[in-house]
């Protein structure tokens, strides 16, 4: 279950929920990757031993994708299925690039998802 800073359970099912209720955008732990998607979109991933967090450009597609991927990682859900289940969100080229890069980092640091 995803919880906010005060411990309340958060249920996010619409794309706007992932923008309004950001849970993973407060970097904690060691930086494990810096990724540039294009000239204006980028993100950094951090890992504190149990949770992945990020810092990114203010692109809504990037933020929604990263929030969903971090949640899928924490909840051990299939990332692509989880992204496709978000109402009002289309898995476009930017989201696919973010997902590929995110999963590439996870695979490279294979000890993260055990």
DSSP E strands: which ranges in the chain?
A: 30-36, 42-47, 52-56
Q: In the predicted model, is pLDDT for residue 114 greater than 50?
A: no
- Supply the range of the domain harboring residue 105: 15-111
Q: Write out the two tokens for 93.
A: 């080229």
- Per residue in 56-87, pLDDT tens? 999 999 999 999 999 999 999 999 999 999 99
Answer yes or no: is 88 within a domain.
Answer: yes
Answer yes or no: is 1 within a domain.
Answer: no
Answer yes or no: is 56 within a domain.
Answer: yes
Q: Write out the two tokens for 95.
A: 């989201």
Residues 6+ apart with CB under 8 A from 27: 44, 46, 53, 54, 55
Answer yes or no: is 102 within a domain.
Answer: yes
Answer yes or no: is 9 within a domain.
Answer: no
Strands 52-56 and 42-47 come out as antiparallel
Q: How far apart are the first and last CA of the chain?
A: 18
Answer yes or no: is 40 within a domain.
Answer: yes
Answer yes or no: is 52 within a domain.
Answer: yes
Torsion 6-32-70-60 (CA) sign: positive
Q: Which pTM does this prediction carry?
A: 0.92
Answer yes or no: is 4 within a domain.
Answer: no
Task: Give me the number of domains the chain comprises.
Answer: 1
- Per residue in 26-64, pLDDT tens? 999 999 999 999 999 999 999 998 899 999 999 999 999
């Amino acid at each position: 279950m995803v919880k906010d800073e005060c411990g309340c359970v958060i249920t996010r099912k619409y794309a706007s929920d992932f923008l309004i209720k950001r849970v993973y955008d407060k970097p904690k732990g060691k930086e494990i990757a810096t990724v540039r998607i294009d000239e204006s979109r980028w993100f950094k991933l951090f890992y504190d031993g149990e949770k992945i967090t990020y810092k990114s450009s203010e692109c809504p597609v990037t933020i929604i994708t990263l929030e969903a991927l971090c949640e899928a990682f924490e909840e051990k859900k299939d990332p692509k299925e989880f992204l496709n289940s978000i109402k009002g969100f289309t898995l476009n080229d930017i989201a696919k690039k973010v997902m590929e890069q995110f999963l590439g980092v996870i695979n490279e640091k294979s000890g993260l998802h055990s």
